[in-house]
Structure 1
Amino acid sequence: MYGVINYEVFLITGILLNLIPGADTMYIVGRSIAQGRNAGVYSVLGICSGSLIHTLLVAFGLSIILTKSLILFNIIKIVGVIYLVYLGIKMLLDKTNLSLDSSGSNKQNKRKIYIQGLLTSLTNPKVALFFIAFLPQFIDTKTTGPIPFIILGLTFTFTGLVWCLFIAYFSSFISQKIRGSERMGTYLNKITGIIFIGMGLKLLQTKSPQ
């Protein structure tokens, strides 16, 4: 099928991989618990948009640069670490109770959360390296062009979208009553900040494939 081989195996494997918690999952859970369902959904859209961009970069051969350039790899990694730690510290210092569900006029906050989710995905070199290592295993070596990569990338992103939306809805549901307390909402924001900082420190341990 358009240069794709063992598509069924890829689909099952992709679903299983999406079920494994990672930095993106923790970001979505943190946003959903601290700020509600809308924040979770917009973080999911941002993460999935990043996945689509990674797909296009791999499809057109640009992400392969990460495996060839140690300097570029480290730059992206450090930017990602700084960004995640910055978000974490910002939430730790924020004394307000942020809740997108409590107001219908928070377009700017929603846009900010979407962009943060997008940047969280784009500044994580592990995501790019995953696409580079995983997708080619299901592409016919005789096939040329970006189409097989795009098909597989879209499939993986779609299954990830479904799972991440479930996570966002479930996380916001179980914390809905807790967020009703302003003090508890502030605590949840700080917990989310700690999660972001932990994600940044974990990303710092990522090693170049060279």
Structure 2
Amino acid sequence: MGAESWAAFALALLVALAVPGPDLVLVVHSATRGVREGASTAVGIVAGLMLHALLAAAGATALLVSAPGALTIVQLLGAGVLLWMGASMLRTTRSTELEAAKDFEHQSRGGYARGFVTNATNPKALLFFAAILPQFIGHGDGAKMRTVALCAAVVLGAGLWWAVTIALIRLFGFHRSPAADRIITLLGGVALLLIGVGLLASTAYGLISPYT
């Protein structure tokens, strides 16, 4: 790959990371509650990307997407995860102070798991590796090495992106205000619910439309 191809790929990756989605919601919410929780969530998200990268490098992503009903199952699973997490975040905003402290402690321990599950079941991440990545890999000699290099670039780029995101959130001082934390939790829960409902609706429409 030449410099122009790498620049185009970097731009595509930047756009994919910058578009608001469940990963961003989780990182922002976690980072306002502590650097450790934010970092744990980000590491979980990157681990989910590593899973996608390994599947893509092994050629399993293309097979998964082309398998009848496989993408639908991933979309439904992803929607279920988002609805559950969104409802959990909204529940914490209605908790008493003691219950909120317990929820905070529980969520701090589960940051990695939430990040991993959210990204691993995120159809957007799957489609990035299935649709965007192949455009830069091409065919012929060295295709396998280019796949590995691009997958590694995605993982490293995402890690850097989330590190900068956490640093900016802490720099602006959102973590110092209980009111800001509550508002971010509320907005984050609503956002996850809306994304989950939207994904569920688009999946249902895709299932129904062939018969209409």
RMSD between aligned residues:
3.1
Matched residues, percent identical?
Answer: 24
Considering fraction of residues, name the structure with more helix.
2
> Structure 2 unaligned runs (5+)?
none
Aligned counterparts of 1:185 and 1:132: Cα–Cα separation in 2:
36
Please list the CA deviations of residues 117-153 of structure 1 after superposition, one character each: whole Å capped at 9, or x if unmatched.
Answer: 1110111122111111111222241036643212101
Q: 1:20 to 1:193 in 2, by over 3 A?
A: closer
Q: Which residue of 2 aligns with 1:30?
A: 29
> Does residue 120 of the first structure (1) align with residue 123 of the second (2)?
no
Aligned counterparts of 2:20 and 2:170: Cα–Cα separation in 1:
17
Q: 1:205 to 1:90 in 2, by over 3 A?
A: same
State the AA in 1 paired with 2:83: V
State the AA in 1 paired with 2:51: I
> Structure 1 unaligned runs (5+)?
none
Would you say the 8 A contact 1:40–1:172 is kept in 2? Answer: no
Q: Which residue of 2 aligns with 1:11?
A: 10
Q: Equivalent residue of 1:93, what SS?
A: helix
Q: 1:109 to 1:30 in 2, by over 3 A?
A: closer
Question: Number of paired residues?
Answer: 199
Aligned counterparts of 1:189 and 1:22: Cα–Cα separation in 2:
15
- How far did 1:155 drift? 0.7
TM-score when scaled to structure 1?
0.79
State the AA in 1 paired with 2:84: Y
Aligned counterpart for 1:190 among listed residues 186, 189, 192: 186
Aligned counterpart for 1:47 among listed residues 31, 45, 48: 45
Would you say the 8 A contact 1:36–1:176 is kept in 2? Answer: yes
Q: 1:16 to 1:84 in 2, by over 3 A?
A: closer
State the AA in 2 paired with 1:22: G
Would you say the 8 A contact 2:137–2:143 is kept in 1? Answer: no
